[in-house]
Structure 1
Amino acid sequence: MGKGSRVQRGQAIVMIALMLVVLFGFLGLALDGGRGYVDRRLMQAAVDAAALAAAYDYMNQTDYAQAEQAATNQFTNNQRLYTAPSCTGYGTLSASCVFGDSTNQVLTVVAADHSLAGVTFTATAVHQVPVTVMQVLGSGPTMRVGATATAVARRADTNGTAILTLSPDGCPGGSNSLTFQGNSITTVTGDIWSNGNIFDQSGAAGGFVNGNVFDICPAPPAPLTPPKWSITGAQANGFNIPDPNYALPPINATSQTWNSTTRSVEQPGTYNADPHLSGGAGCYFLAAGVYNFKGGLTQLGGFISSNELRPPDEPNLTSTTSALTGTITSIPVVALQVAVPGNSTVTVGGQAFTVTSAGAAAGATSIPVASQTVSGTIATRSVVVTMARALRQFWDMNGVGCGSSFSLAALGSTGFSSGAYSVEVTAVRWEANGVPNCSGPASPACYERESAPSMCRTVTLASSGNIKVSVTTDPGADDFKVYLATNATCTGLTYCTHTGTGNSNVTISSCPTGQPSPPDVQRPPLASTLPNTNPVAATPPRGDLANEGHCVDTSTGSDISCPGAWTPGAVVLYLPNGGCVDLHGGGDSYLFSGYQYQRVLLYEPGPEQSSQPNTCSNNVNGNGFTSLIGMFYVPAASVTINGNNTYQATIAGGVVAWTAAITGTGGVAITADPTLPTFPSTVRLIQ
């Protein structure tokens, strides 16, 4: 073998030696680096918990020293440190603790007061982790590992969020995250939060915010300026709020086609094509469930789309304008929409009064009654129920003519005794859960919805006989309950019978005894152009038993107080990528969601929920009484609320959108729901 070959063999040995050094380096990086990575993850969890502990403690005690002590205790427990730390600065805005353990752990807690936006606590920890292989290569005996976390404690005087925009637009420059423009008078009950700027172009209209206003820029913020805006809270710079990441609703894959016949009952499922409601008037009742509008949802023209269950012949209601006490001969009321017949009965505060023979004309602000002493005191704004039909029936709005009515007739010669009888009717619908359909009784798989009572009608039997009750088609109703009293004053009514599922009339010859009274009556309209509103939520059997204020126990099917696990009749409008909502023209949508859907009414997935987020531009241009009771959750999309509509999102975080604009010439009302957990949460991590 020649000399050249021996030289080449020597070079190979050198190269192998160098490669071994590199391999040891990779080995050290894998072993020591991996250990450091795991150690940092554990430390990150510890400082996250420490920051949250400080924030929670401060929310309860409002004491910096106690909050910093809580952070130290939490960190000590999570890191399994058994030596007492040496701490300084408790009670100031910066506290530091040295633990003196083998890794020299140090925890620092820094507090910062951001006024109404809250108090932040930043926990930072560092220590030295021993290394093995890397030490052989000359890196030193330890490596430094650190982690930091920041939690915010919101003030107790902040509210549920009515509007939240996630876009950072406007910080700096560019378009705007939240815009108010036009002459729309906006009423917001709850806080407004924006991850960008809030731009006010609302002219002289402005509005009212019963809450606080937070944005990211400018600093200091002044997005909504008086005198056109009235704000009960404060305006302050806040923090970036993450997408709350509400869970996807359960998508119903059953293929559906919109039934364009007026008074039809639409079914949940997947609609591949946009129903595109246009043309003349009509009404559509939405059965409970999730509606997957893959092609979007457009509503034009004089339509009503709703899942509200309403009674036939909704009663004419008003309210007292002053308290009633002592002996009275008249009842002062908000101006009557329709006349009150003479010699009829009005009920207020659970007491009945006889109207004088003259009655009261439409527009009157007082109802004359026969002299009577009031039992106790009837408060101002108490509901006054008359024996007249309301001028504006829910299902007759926009001229759709879908309202229901009932009539009474005396039949036969045996049955009830001669005399006068009072009758009220309620609409009933059964909602199935986990089964295709049901018709009662109430069970874990079948829930009853019962509307408020109708107006009271009377019938007189000249001799013994029967009473026939006939009801015209009522959107969404499966059955009707009949309540009866043996008088002409519409007092003391109790349950008598029902028409039966699928039937619209029943002939009655007798009634059982010991039966319940009718559900609570509706409330007067919010304005003279609107129909009656639903009863308030209350403890069953009182309160709303049919719509957004109604909850059931899913283990029994029994009615319970809200909030609860399930709201019978609730709907969700789900629009995946490619579908947009466009509600405008003369149509109205009156829809509510429920607790089983986190009260989300409109759901368009964002990047947290789908690889194809919906980024469309949604438009809500209601007419006279559009009301969307539930959250608009469109985290990657925009929404424009425009026109002569009343938009109610009665849920915490009423509108969650990428960007939002409130515009047009009509009134807009967005309301946070105090019965649900607020967002952003009172205490949360922000970094």
Structure 2
Amino acid sequence: MPFIVPSTRTKSPQRKLQEGQAIVLIALLILVLFGMLGLAIDSGRGYVDRRDQQTAVDAAALAAGDWWENYQDLNGVVVPNSVALYESDLRLYNGPAGAPTHTSRLVGPQNNLPEDTYTYTWNAGYTLVIVATDTQFNGYQFKFTTNHQLPLAFIQIFGGSRTVGIGATATSIVGNQRQTPALLTLSTETCATNLSGSAQLTVLGDVYTNGTACLDNNLHEAGNCYGAAGSNCNVAQYYCYNSDPGFVPYPPTPTCNPGDITGQAVVPAPTLPDPGYLAPSIGYYTAAQGYSQYNRGTWTEMYPGQYGNFHLSGGSASCAFLNGGVYNWTNGYTSDANGSLLSNELKA
């Protein structure tokens, strides 16, 4: 009787099960690879979108500052032109989706700083918020905030979000006086700053007055001179200077050395509000002080407070040196004695 056996060896059920597991693992690996590829592509698109938006708001914020300095027309020039530049940089050719919203309010510690907020939206998923704040002494501030709901190409296939928010912010400030002038007069009266006489005076830093400046050519100004309409800042001699500590200004011959600059007259200049400097450690509002001449022998040391009868006038010259703090001359300040000196630095 013939012996019959299979021509091929049969596979055990356990081996068939193992081969099925390998197919599943390969499918999972392919799925993971596609997921990583999709993540890389969507992340790259998000990075490019963030970079494009940052470039757009940077350019728009800087342009808003330039247009404000030239035109000072917020609604007619500054905002529309800066929005047009933003659209151009992001290639938004169809214009905003409807009219923008515009709100105004007063902000700041004393609720006296005008703030305008503009909100623009586009059908492509972009939103732009512009906040323009007149901070007065600290200049006009323009803050641009953009956001884009970027559609995701691959992540949504794997159950993720359909879009992701990408944003950027840029701020510009123009006309600020954060570098405090060397001499600031808050009075708005005629000749609020009066720097004239037979002696020569050199000021290293800006001279700023809310009233008119009454000067003569004995003033050597190493900085800018700001004054209200009618100021004669043009008669001062403008010296060369730079920002190096301890720099000694010098007259141009006829130009300045490389790296040094000269200031200019800025008339009329905007009125600056009282910055409200406070010195909590010194009760200068209620502390009455008197000018105790020669309380240090040959010179006078002064202390912060209110001075009702201070003057360096008449008779022989005297020298006074100020301690740190805030001084209030309630009856004005007079100094007409030749050779007198009032210094905001203590004697060495």
**Which one has a larger percent strand, Structure 1 or Structure 2?**
1
- Please tell me whether Structure 1 or Structure 2 has the larger radius of gyration of its CA atoms: 2
**Which one has a larger percent helix, Structure 1 or Structure 2?**
2
State the TM-score, normalizing by the size of structure 1.
0.25
State the TM-score, normalizing by the size of structure 2.
0.47
